[in-house]
Structure 1
Amino acid sequence: MRLNTGGENFFVCPQCRTKLSAQTDHYQCSRCNREYPVIFGIADFRIRSDPYLSLQQERAKAKRLVTEAEQNFSAMLDYYYEITDDVPPALATRYKAYHLNGPRQAQQSLARLGVSSGDVFLDAGCGTGGALIAAAEHCSHIYGVDIALRWLVICQQRLKEQGITATLVCADIEAPPFPDGYFSKITATDLLENVYSVDNTLVALGRLLKTGGKLWLAGSNKFCLGPHPSTRLWAVGYFPGKLRSRLVKRLRGVDSLRFINLISPGRIIRYARQSGLHAQMLSPRMVALDEEGHYPAIDRLLIKTYMLVARLPVLRQLLIWVGPAFEMILGKSPYSMESKGVDQA
């Protein structure tokens, strides 16, 4: 396997958008004189880290995964949750099942997006690489970006085990190191909940898309009446922020929503329109379960029940607005949602 993580020379400076020059162990911007290191074979273009850890802490955690964990994907994932204090064991089990199910889930998403051999594909917020594995079946120009180097080193190991070639980049999606209009297809699974600014992220994704390109995204719905996918608390998005934080912490031990943006399909469509993106499809999140049964039995039962309801026409439309999760396709094209309408698939 060959990982294209250090040989690309088309990157631009996230800060000033000047084309970068590749050096032995870093990328250099001639305009603002900023250096971006290559760490564990992955170019790190971050100007800031994610809200959970500082850049120094985050790089130290990535180093622990590389130097202390057994170098196989499953073991690294287990070790990650062992050294992550704010993820209780029950939640870690659920999160691991989510990662293991990633390729199967992404196959369905990419089919809806229509990824083909001629596409230049980006998974924004690629995490452990489920969508990259699925995309490898369709196209050869595959890129994954994530703000967390700790996830990318796990992703790198997973791709190595699968024999998949991809370019992995550590960067803040609001300040991406890619040229404008470079990608024809982009996926963003559960990304918008985890960014600093939903609006700025949609602007950045729209800028990265070619005209005629498409963005598939999915997220948990703030206005879900049932249990939230990660906290399992009912209607938690309706509570005011401080009360919600106290409630989640008391009932679950840790406020796992403390840095999460609670979003809704209506909000995303409004923000996307301002970014030059237009909704082409809107649907309840369609879930594809793996056959290995990684999810706990109760989760599998809830998912199967949800999918039965999601296939009933009347309830399907209701689920878009008050169901647990939604997905949509946004296009960078000249027509507007008002003139053509949205396909509520």
Structure 2
Amino acid sequence: MTLLVESQRFAGSTDRTDLLRAFLNRHPIEMFGGVIADCRRAEESYLGDAEDRARARALMELVQSEHFDFEELIERLYDLSPEVGPEARRRQTSHLRTAEARAEIWLEALGRDTAGLGPRLDLGCGSGGFLVASARREPELIHVGIDPALRWLTVAAGRLKAAGLDGGRVCLVAAHAEELPFDAETFGSVAAGDVIEHVNDQARTLAEVWRVLKPGGRLFLASPNRLSLTPEPHVLVWGVGWLPETWRAAYVRCVNGAEYRQIRNLSWNEWQRLLNHSPFGGGRVESPRLATAELREFGGLKRGLGTLYNLLVTHGFGQFLARRVGPCFHVVCQKR
């Protein structure tokens, strides 16, 4: 017997509004575009609510059009984003296209045994790559994706539609990680890929995740390493994380003119301290291999270095070095 029939709150309904009401206990629920529940209690901090909503409306028109195309949706997203320069656009577009491949590695790290514990939350779901990969693997499971930005949730709605999952058990909710609109012990697992470095309060976010997880539930996080010897992945500038925090934004602006805000990457030692002081009481922090799809996007030399890195991290000393100066971390915690 699955949780879907074990729990009266999720008793087999395939109506998305019913599922959202069961999760959110909000009557009525404010819906955006008919598919996104807006439960934000604070303003979208990067663009502001008005601009975020305007871009989301333009994207939703494309999602709901008769001849919808996901690649066209990505291009439209960046056409509406003049603050993203040409090089950043190329890099971010490539990142979006490989999202589902990265999600497969994230799912392996999260573990297959969590599906039996109940619904899965994608914290900061962005363009929905993890939601698609997870819903394909566990179609009987309810999946909920949250993000504070309506524009990104609209892109996620488009990805779900392109994957044929827009009529399934996948719900999209606009909310902030520090104040989740869910009851305690709602989810069997939570994934947050490339998210924790962007939240306003990392400790509070971990406490909220612990609150909504069921006992035995598991959290997976992916995040860049502050002390990586590779360029900072958001702005492609070398050495950002080695500088004092108050210098970083000015340094990035000086090097390539980019804005460096709402980003707080952690080192391996900083992760240990954060987890030890969280309700989880600790967790496993490792340097993962790079996804094959990501390696294909690299040029010749970079691809060769990435392949070598994947070989090194499978060995003890290589893993030790990667935890100190490698590009990124995978973090797994369990609620005891």
Distance in structure 1 (CA, Å) of the matches to 2:42 and 2:277: 25
Distance in structure 2 (CA, Å) of the matches to 1:297 and 1:48: 45
CA contact (8 A) 2:119 2:187 kept: yes
1:267-286 aligned at under 5 Å gives the runs: 267-286=270-289
TM-score (norm 1): 0.83
Query: In structure 2, which of residues 241, 254, 257 is the aligned counterpart of residue 253 of structure 1?
Result: 257
- Whether 1:123 and 2:138 are equivalent positions in the alignment is no
Distance in structure 2 (CA, Å) of the matches to 1:299 and 1:6: 48
Distance in structure 2 (CA, Å) of the matches to 1:112 and 1:62: 32
**Aligned residue in 1 for 2:49:** 55
Distance in structure 2 (CA, Å) of the matches to 1:216 and 1:173: 14
Percent identity over the alignment is: 29
Do the aligned partners of residues 229 and 300 (structure 1) sit closer, same or farther apart at CA in structure 2, a change above 3 Å counting? farther
**Aligned residue in 1 for 2:108:** 111
Do the aligned partners of residues 297 and 138 (structure 1) sit closer, same or farther apart at CA in structure 2, a change above 3 Å counting? farther
CA contact (8 A) 2:129 2:159 kept: no
1:295-314 aligned at under 5 Å gives the runs: 295=298, 300-314=303-317
Q: Deviations over 1:185-242 (max 9, x none)?
A: 1111111111111111111111111111110101111122332223332221111234
**Aligned residue in 1 for 2:162:** 161
How far the C-alpha of 1:52 sits from its partner, in A, is: 1.0
How far the C-alpha of 1:48 sits from its partner, in A, is: 1.5
Distance in structure 2 (CA, Å) of the matches to 1:291 and 1:326: 16
TM-score (norm 2): 0.85
Question: How large is the Cα RMSD of the aligned pairs?
Answer: 2.3
CA contact (8 A) 1:4 1:168 kept: no
- Whether 1:90 and 2:91 are equivalent positions in the alignment is no
Do the aligned partners of residues 6 and 170 (structure 1) sit closer, same or farther apart at CA in structure 2, a change above 3 Å counting? farther
How many aligned residue pairs are there?
Answer: 312
Query: In structure 2, which of residues 63, 76, 80 is the aligned counterpart of residue 79 of structure 1?
Result: 76
* Aligned partner of residue 53 in structure 1, secondary structure: coil
CA contact (8 A) 2:197 2:223 kept: yes
Residue segments in structure 2 that go unaligned for 5+ positions in a row: 1-13
* Aligned partner of residue 197 in structure 2, secondary structure: helix
How far the C-alpha of 1:142 sits from its partner, in A, is: 1.1
- Aligned residue type for 1:99: L
* Aligned partner of residue 8 in structure 1, secondary structure: helix
Q: Deviations over 1:126-174 (max 9, x none)?
A: 1111111111112421111111110111110110111122111111111
Distance in structure 1 (CA, Å) of the matches to 2:48 and 2:255: 28
Bigger mean CA offset, 303-312 vs 81-90: 303-312
How far the C-alpha of 1:3 sits from its partner, in A, is: 7.7
Q: Deviations over 1:247-277 (max 9, x none)?
A: 211222212x222112233323323333321
**Aligned residue in 1 for 2:194:** 190
Residue segments in structure 1 that go unaligned for 5+ positions in a row: 13-18, 28-36, 334-345
- Whether 1:264 and 2:257 are equivalent positions in the alignment is no
**Aligned residue in 1 for 2:217:** 213
Distance in structure 2 (CA, Å) of the matches to 1:134 and 1:68: 23
* Aligned partner of residue 262 in structure 2, secondary structure: coil
Query: In structure 1, which of residues 221, 230, 237 is the aligned counterpart of residue 241 of structure 2?
Result: 237
Distance in structure 2 (CA, Å) of the matches to 1:134 and 1:91: 25
**Aligned residue in 1 for 2:38:** 44
CA contact (8 A) 2:295 2:306 kept: no
- Aligned residue type for 1:200: R
Q: Deviations over 1:82-117 (max 9, x none)?
A: 221222111211111111111111112112211354
**Aligned residue in 1 for 2:26:** 20
Q: Deviations over 1:28-77 (max 9, x none)?
A: xxxxxxxxx21112100011133211112211111121236873221111
More helix by share: 2
How far the C-alpha of 1:322 sits from its partner, in A, is: 2.0
- Aligned residue type for 2:26: L
Bigger mean CA offset, 89-98 vs 307-316: 307-316
- Aligned residue type for 2:209: L
Do the aligned partners of residues 300 and 74 (structure 1) sit closer, same or farther apart at CA in structure 2, a change above 3 Å counting? farther
- Aligned residue type for 2:324: W
**Aligned residue in 2 for 1:16:** none
CA contact (8 A) 2:39 2:174 kept: yes
